[in-house]
Amino acid sequence: MKLVKTLTLALCFTIAMPLLAQNKSQGGIDADMMRQITQIAASKSNAALSNAMASNSIDDLARNYKNSTVNDTHFSVETPKQSIHNQRSSGRCWMYSSFNVMRANFARRHNDTLRVEYSHDYLFFWDQLEKANLMLQGVIDCADKPLDDQRVQFFFHHPINDGGTFCGAADLAEKYGLVPVEVQPETYTAERTSRMSQLLSSKLREQGLELRKMVADGKSKSAIKQRKTEMLGEIYSMLSLVLGEPIKSFSYAFKDKDGKTVTPVRTYTPLEFFQETQGGPINGTFIMAMNDPRREYYKTYEVEWDRHTYDGHNWCYINLPMEDIAQMAIASLQDSTKLYSSYDVGKQLNRNTGYLSLDNYDYSTLFGTTFGMNKAERIATFDSGSTHAMTLTAVDLDAKGNPIKWKVENSWGADSGQKGYIIMTNEWFNEFAFRLVVDKKYVPANILKASQQKPIMVMPEDPLFDLDQ
């Protein structure tokens, strides 16, 4: 038996040698390459460090002790504080940041004497229904393409999601209005969206296949539209069960910052409440600025199919250097105006202190290597991109008016970070800030003119165009 095993092993080794040679020619790891790999690894080995890393988290070991506390929390320019919200286990940061801006603008118009808190659950219902329609209609529009076509796969890969942008919030609010949180509070599923998203995705994929077959079978446009309407009725029913049916009208009286009722009770529809609290359309009042060093600056770009409603606005932005973005942000904050902004917040975040700095964690020394990509390279290789929306509320300026650090209102609850806020150094801001929504009155004339160019169409698969979550 031992002889058989020996012969078997010898035979396997003999067969494996040509395979290794074949792997070498095809870019595989051969025996010689493996010897070099292990020699390089051995030259970097450190028994004490290896033992420490086997028993502790990487971040705990890489944390820079000097940045373990935040001593300087003073800001020379700061907007009025408001209550901190918590998106919990959902990807709705885009809506929280949008509402933060909207409710701050309302309070500002009333000299900070009145307050309003909007229902996230209400607008989220319409967001999900509209995204379902966007997916189904997109499938119909592309039904003449094969199932493995890039655009068809775009709809079937992620048929629905809970992420988004300020542009989507503006479209939804203008179409469906807004309601106070008191009349439509959060449900369990609104705060924990993953299971609902999974089930809705399965249903939409099933429905999408049926619509493609109807097109292939030559069904009339009216028949296809009717079937799509029936499908959306099913989606509406599912959403109603977990989010509650959207409120149609309600009675409401406004309160001051101390919670005291200061206006008579009045009956509103959601659209009337939107008009009462926002004063008119949001679209057309702002620009979306982006910092993408891969593309030409002072050009306007539009992301195909990147919208919340089929009849809404694609995400359109002007690409700018960080210096221009910073100056528009400073001008807004100096006029007590908060801004929707988004970042790659996972990079170098100390969650305990709510502090973002490029040297919070020294991974290079810990691993004996370098992490040397610049911003453009990180974006191009999917290493970095906009992942989380927060509300820019403050900036600290030096004697020459240059930014030293920034402060954002987050949506992770009042117990997170700096009592619900995050502080970031200007160096971190330059590397990991991406989007900024700016009221046009704070936009310089040259940038405003550039933003009115015919946009260059770009594809939603680009690594920078993930939705804020």
Catalytic residues: 93, 388, 410
Please tell me the distance from the alpha carbon of residue 369 to that of residue 350, in angstroms, as a whole number: 22
The residues, any chain, with a CB within 8 Å of residue 364's CB and separated by 6 or more, are 370, 371
- Whole-number Å distance between alpha carbons of 325 and 319: 10
Amino acid in position 284: G
Q: Which of 261, 292, 265 is nearest to 385 (CA)?
A: 292
Please state, in angstroms and rounded to a whole number, the distance separating the CA atoms of residues 203 and 196: 11
Measured CA to CA, the distance from residue 358 to residue 364 in angstroms comes to 12
C-alpha to C-alpha distances, 22 to 12, 153, 238, nearest whole angstrom? 15, 35, 55
Strand (E) or helix (H) holding 137: helix 120-141
Residue type, 349: L
- Which residues touch 165 (CB under 8 Å, ≥6 apart)? 94, 288, 306, 315, 342, 389, 435, 467, 468
Sorted by sequence, the CB contacts under 8 Å of residue 345 that are 6+ apart come out as 356, 387, 388, 390, 422, 432
Residue ranges in 351-421 assigned as alpha helix (H): 363-367, 375-380
Euclidean distance between CA atoms 344 and 18, whole angstroms: 46
* CA-closest candidate to residue 447, choices 288, 306, 332, 330: 288
319 three-class SS = strand
Rounded CA-CA distance 139/208 in Å is 6
Query: 270 φ, ψ to 5°?
Result: -55, -40
